Amino acid sequence: MPSSSPRPLAVVGGGIGGLAAALAAARAGRAVTLVERAAQFGEIGAGLQLAPNASLALDELGVLADVRRNAVLPPRLVMMDAVSGTEVTSLDLRGSAYTDRFAHPYLVTHRTDLHAALLAACRAEPLITLRTGLTVTRAEQDGDHVRLSFAEQDEVLPADAVVAADGLHSRLRRALTGEGDPVCSRYVAYRGAIPTGRMTGRMSRAAADEAVMVWAGPAMHLVQYPVRRGELYNQVAVFRSDSYTPDSDDWGTEAELERRFATACDAVRDALPLVARDRRWPLYDRPPLQRWAYGRIALLGDAAHPMLQYLAQGACQALEDATALGRALRELPDAADAFTAYAARRTERAGRIQTGAHLFGELCHLEGMGATMRNLALAHRSPADFDDLAWVWTPAPDTVAAPAATASIGAPA
Ligand code: FAD
């Protein structure tokens, strides 16, 4: 339902969450101005897993076919023991048990490809204005509107309401909640995608297999999967640093990476030299937040639910946020009402996934007897058994559009 406000809805942040939110709001008939602090829109050079809840959201936003064109549909999701090199458990992502349960595909994509698809859709949408090089410093609510101030200029942007999609370190969230910094997990990631052509032997065969491989080891793991139609291979090496200190960046170094992975099997050791080392990514989250809507300002994406990446759901949840927000804006003309409805639909589910991501990380990083028990417990699990993950991969019913969306899993888009 279009708003009667002469002012646009402002979205702060042009990451995956912000672009998806802008698109969803425009599809609900709202004029949107999106402001991004970077001089140019972009994403980092690494991969992203998109579970069926995310591909459903992309379908609702009308960009699934575009994303799918450059993505890979992995046949299997495999957990390996990183020390013994043996398979712990796997899921068949293309078989009938999957397709009977999930109407949408499990995709792996390069972040740039997903971001570019969302950006292209935003650029093609007449109701969306995109602005870069603007860092929001303040959002002041004033009766029926919000005024946004920027670091780069004196101009104030009056907005009907504001969606804060400004990421993990969200300035707007801190201003609204009074919280401090996100919580550092003491784990760090090294990640990036390399041309598949650079790989030989075992690595090359792994890439050709197209599976998502999760090598779980003591306080470390390695994730591997192909992206961009198989032309690139994404690798993420994650480990706990023993030298973490809150006041320094001198922890989680490359030397520690080598030491932590020293006990890994040959397949993991072969892969390590090809893991990107140009930047280290400390991993943060926050406990679930009960309140996402503050009058005419609402939180979305990592700003609302920063989570550890172990369930590969941060971006998936941001996409779910966007479609839930779009639905609320379609139903309720007043943005503050729509924000309240959106938050009511999303907080509990996203909070459970934040908590679940923590637990799954612990399961991955078990050592000694704990790892042995995990492997035994999972040994007889069928590749067709999705019971443990179905709740994560299935949005709550009132966040799903009716009728159900259109994608099919088998045929390439
Ligand atoms: P961001 O991507 O952080 O975007 C925020 C944007 O806001 C940025 O463009 C920033 O420049 C802008 N901004 C910030 N402050 C301001 C301001 N004051 N004014 C204007 N603009 C501002 N998720 C998955 O679903 N699947 C995965 O496989 C997966 N793997 C991951 C692996 C790792 C190692 C990590 C660390 C995360 C992973 N995630 C994954 C999580 C996912 O990357 C994030 O949840 C997602 O990218 C968050 O998107 P966002 O748009 O909310 O935030």
Instruction: Give 344-381 as a DSSP string.
Output: HHHHHHHHHHHHHHHHHHHHHT--HHHHHHHHHHHHT-
Total domains in the fold of the chain: 1
Per-residue confidence (pLDDT) for residue 399, from 0 to 100 = 60
Beta strands in 166-316 (DSSP E): 183-195, 212-217, 220-227, 232-240, 280-285, 293-294, 297-299
Specify if 234 maps to a domain. no
Per-residue confidence (pLDDT) for residue 250, from 0 to 100 = 86
Specify if 170 maps to a domain. yes
pLDDT-flagged residues of the chain (< 70): 1-2, 398-413
Query: Which CATH number does the domain housing residue 327 bear?
Result: 3.50.50.60
Is 306 touching ligand 1 by the criterion CB < 6 Å?
Answer: no
Q: Answer whether 68's CB lies under 8 Å from 413's CB.
A: yes
Per-residue confidence (pLDDT) for residue 1, from 0 to 100 = 61
Q: Which atom of ligand 1 is nearest to the CA of 316?
A: 25
Q: Which pTM was predicted?
A: 0.95
CA 12-27-160 angle, to 5 degrees, is 45
Specify if 275 maps to a domain. no
Residue 167 Cα to ligand 1 midpoint, Å, equals 5
Helix, coil or strand: residue 317: helix
Specify if 219 maps to a domain. no
* Structural domain range at position 390: 9-181+286-395
Is 167 touching ligand 1 by the criterion CB < 6 Å?
Answer: yes
Specify if 252 maps to a domain. no
Which residues neighbour 381 within 8 Å (Cβ) at sequence distance 6 or greater? 89
Is 318 touching ligand 1 by the criterion CB < 6 Å?
Answer: yes
Type of residue at 220: M
Is 321 touching ligand 1 by the criterion CB < 6 Å?
Answer: no
Residue 302 Cα to ligand 1 midpoint, Å, equals 6
Specify if 264 maps to a domain. no
Is 189 touching ligand 1 by the criterion CB < 6 Å?
Answer: yes
Residue 223 Cα to ligand 1 midpoint, Å, equals 19
Specify if 112 maps to a domain. yes
- How many CA atoms within 13 Å lie on the side-chain side of 168? 16
Residue 17 Cα to ligand 1 midpoint, Å, equals 7
Q: Which of 256, 251, 250 is nearest to 237 (CA)?
A: 256
Please provide residue 142's backbone torsions phi and psi, each rounded to the nearest 5 degrees.
Answer: -140, 90
37, 122, 162, 307: which to mutate for ligand 1, most atoms within 8 A of CB? 37
Per-residue confidence (pLDDT) for residue 219, from 0 to 100 = 97
Specify if 45 maps to a domain. yes
Helix, coil or strand: residue 72: strand
Q: Answer whether 294's CB lies under 8 Å from 146's CB.
A: no
